[in-house]
Structure 1
């Protein structure tokens, strides 16, 4: 039996489907974006697979943001509250790929060559005796992390010296430059110093009209050292969308909206194999590692013919030319390879050459999942029952130089005042939720001991939450929202005594600092 369907009904149904797809596309974007939005299936991606990826992440890694582009369109993006689209995020070594790009612009403008000798840029900073290896060191050797030093000098130099250029040039070089890979963030700083030397501008300022403005990237900042030079190998902060834009620019061989922003030849040169990080390692081991696929010019080669920029704790720009895709991630994880493994397990096979049949149920499920992403605040009761609150505690000498902690509350908001060195900092915390605030107190991080000018980062944006445990311990969680890191202080009260455990998230429960204090009389 043939069932007759009214043409008007058929049109109505088609309009309903179109409206559903458009609605979901808007929800996938979640915020105003420079990229057009689309549903995953329309771009040949399984929404169910993306949802499975998000489920696999939970409990294993702390993600802060995720953005996936296919064919130049946003197919999924999300931020784990309290992280948000318009917040910058510290990139750590993901910054290095931006420094490589600055070198690319300088090369294209014939200001420098990758074969230029490093000593030629700093005649006033050279040691009394220039070794043959130092004389032979080139810009390319800096780009490929093959300086020839026997150990990474970054930590010792940046934490003890103000003049990093002079300190770098004074270091012994044990091996022929270009012959051995050694990860070396100070080498990337030297690239930033070279850019500033030949252009008269800080790297971030040099990149603004060449990279950031053409891509519509704004509100970036970059840490500087005591000499006023951008740190180069770390310290850049941008929004998540800026990472996606950088990836898309490189995926498109340097083109942006039809314009060649950076020469295609440089993009190819910067992202192809230059040096083996692990010569002699069995192929079976290399096959399971994205850190043994070859290093480029401050980019890494990946498995599956991809390449990436990456930074400590899981800051990623993953470019997948074979799939015409870009994935941007900010996070804090102790297992960066584990994050990449999930990308290859779930997202890589999710992408097909052609559009997939519409799957409204899977789309709706993914949209709701992306909208509900969040990181839990401190857990526990809102009030203490032990009568130890609203007091000031004088602390014994400690490595954090905190002299006292004072506690008070107003309308359910806990106020914690720390006297540290010669400064006083007041922090606010809410129960069962994150409370936005700001502070001049420097947060935890890998480079806090560096001799830098951290003033450009002040005030730090923070979110605070608190909770009382059944044993009457007070947990204070302070999330430095423009970094990957969180500071947790657990306060144990015993009469007039206070023991406070200070835990930085990147220590993963190890190396806690324990503070001891008594009620101030």
Structure 2
């Protein structure tokens, strides 16, 4: 698997700062990358991906019959509950914590962070909504799940996962942080090697099995990885991140699910494609990082729109625009008043060649490098390496027509413009 086009696109994105990237199949790592000075053999902080591991522990405990999804939290942790049995916390079930729907009305992270006992602090706060009805992200709600696993198993979350998940998978380096009351933090603070995250992704691709052992009940994973609740107030622009939530997993485009941590830590599981991706960052915007992963590895290009289009008047005096070939070896030809510009491209790849383009006063044949991607249309980013010019041609395909959006980074003579071309019959 060639990572070069993807890594180049990440490098060009202002809001993506990748440190590690691993492509995973059901049989192991297919490709991997670590940006210097980062290495594969050091721990990496998972941030809120920790929540998904807590969910896996709940699933294992569920499979062992230690708890049920509809168990009331108060029946398992009665000593942590408010004395008033009429308090809404007594109505919260295990599944409500798994789906971030315990019933809180606002983000109470800051208010609870300094409390000496996070479990009691969460359960003693106000719950204006009925449990199970309203999604509101809560790290402390995830931490209560750690306490549940500890209570029903008689082991800490760390020891429980070591015994039933990590050690059977050959993962021995896990480092956890603790909440103020001494419990293993269930919503944050886990560190693992990147390769161990890839092992977890492989296990999830195989429906909970690893090394010939069924470590996680497949029936639980089916529930955890499906939309159990919708996120209120979801940004409609976050088309890749999605508005669905399972059991401590985010559900995004094409129903793919993911572990998700602050500053661009992602473990994306794509069962239909039989692929998973571990992406770790020094600060990335999640939606931008997901968009690049989908663009380069997951989204199929539409049928190739070969043809010749007669262009309307435009500042570059392009008379016709022609597409020929296919996505593996395509050609964009622009017939102008001063000559013919030909750009070869390969979708999600890089091509080199020579074509005519303006330098200062006149057009000259010169060397170019072209990177092609599909982003609701064909986007060609062309570096004219004999000059400072970087031109972007975006082709949006309409019925019997094409819209060309042209952008140039710097120029004395060229300007950005848009023009429509009609397919010649």
TM-score range, shorter chain: 0.5 to 0.7
**Paired position in structure 1 for 2:71:** 116
Cα displacement string for residues 309-359 of structure 1 (whole angstroms, at most 9, x for unaligned residues): 1100111111111211010011122511110011111121489xxxxx9xx
Counterpart secondary structure, 2:48: helix
Cα displacement string for residues 237-289 of structure 1 (whole angstroms, at most 9, x for unaligned residues): 0011111111111111111122211111111111111001137x7xxx64742
Which one has the bigger strand percentage? 2
Counterpart secondary structure, 2:230: coil
Judge conservation of contact 1:278–1:292 (CA < 8 Å) in 2.
no
Q: Among 250, 253, 260, which residue is 2:214 paired with?
A: 260
Cα displacement string for residues 433-479 of structure 1 (whole angstroms, at most 9, x for unaligned residues): xxxxxxxxxxxxxxxxxxxxxxxxxxxxxxxxxxxxxxxxxxxxxxx
CA distance in 1, matches of 2:223, 2:189: 25
**Paired position in structure 1 for 2:143:** 189
Judge conservation of contact 1:102–1:207 (CA < 8 Å) in 2.
yes
Judge conservation of contact 1:290–1:301 (CA < 8 Å) in 2.
no
Counterpart secondary structure, 2:260: strand
Cα displacement string for residues 9-61 of structure 1 (whole angstroms, at most 9, x for unaligned residues): xxxxxxxxxxxxxxxxxxxxxxxxxxxxxxx2xxxxxx2xx311101111432
**Paired position in structure 1 for 2:164:** 210
**Paired position in structure 1 for 2:291:** 341
Higher mean C-alpha deviation, range 341-350 or range 79-88: 341-350
Cα displacement string for residues 366-415 of structure 1 (whole angstroms, at most 9, x for unaligned residues): 9xxxxxxxxxxxxxxxxxxxxxxxxxxxxxxxxxxxxxxxxxxxxxxxxx
Q: Among 190, 205, 209, which residue is 1:236 paired with?
A: 190
CA distance in 2, matches of 1:247, 1:104: 16
Judge conservation of contact 2:238–2:287 (CA < 8 Å) in 1.
no
Higher mean C-alpha deviation, range 182-191 or range 333-342: 333-342
Judge conservation of contact 1:63–1:331 (CA < 8 Å) in 2.
yes
**Paired position in structure 2 for 1:139:** 94
C-alpha change, 1:71 and 1:137, in structure 2 (3 Å) is: closer
CA displacement at 1:75 relative to structure 2: 2.5
Q: How many residues align?
A: 303
Where do residues 427-438 of structure 1 align in structure 2 (5 Å cutoff)? none
CA displacement at 1:291 relative to structure 2: 3.8
Aligned-residue CA RMSD (Å) = 2.2
Which consecutive aligned stretches of 4+ in structure 1 deviate over 6 angstroms post-superposition?
Answer: none
Judge conservation of contact 2:230–2:244 (CA < 8 Å) in 1.
yes
CA displacement at 1:135 relative to structure 2: 1.7
Counterpart secondary structure, 2:281: strand
Judge conservation of contact 2:173–2:192 (CA < 8 Å) in 1.
yes
Does 1:95 pair with 2:45? no
TM-score (norm 1): 0.55
CA displacement at 1:71 relative to structure 2: 4.6
CA distance in 2, matches of 1:163, 1:349: 46
Judge conservation of contact 1:149–1:175 (CA < 8 Å) in 2.
yes
Counterpart secondary structure, 2:267: strand
Relative contact order, higher structure (CA 8 A, sep 6+): 1
Does 1:51 pair with 2:4? yes
Counterpart secondary structure, 1:326: strand
Judge conservation of contact 2:60–2:215 (CA < 8 Å) in 1.
no
Does 1:303 pair with 2:253? yes
CA distance in 1, matches of 2:270, 2:131: 31
Judge conservation of contact 1:274–1:295 (CA < 8 Å) in 2.
yes
Judge conservation of contact 1:318–1:327 (CA < 8 Å) in 2.
yes
CA distance in 2, matches of 1:340, 1:262: 26
Q: Among 209, 213, 232, which residue is 1:278 paired with?
A: 232
**Paired position in structure 1 for 2:178:** 224
CA distance in 1, matches of 2:70, 2:115: 28
Counterpart secondary structure, 2:229: coil
CA displacement at 1:302 relative to structure 2: 1.3
CA distance in 1, matches of 2:238, 2:105: 27
TM-score (norm 2): 0.68
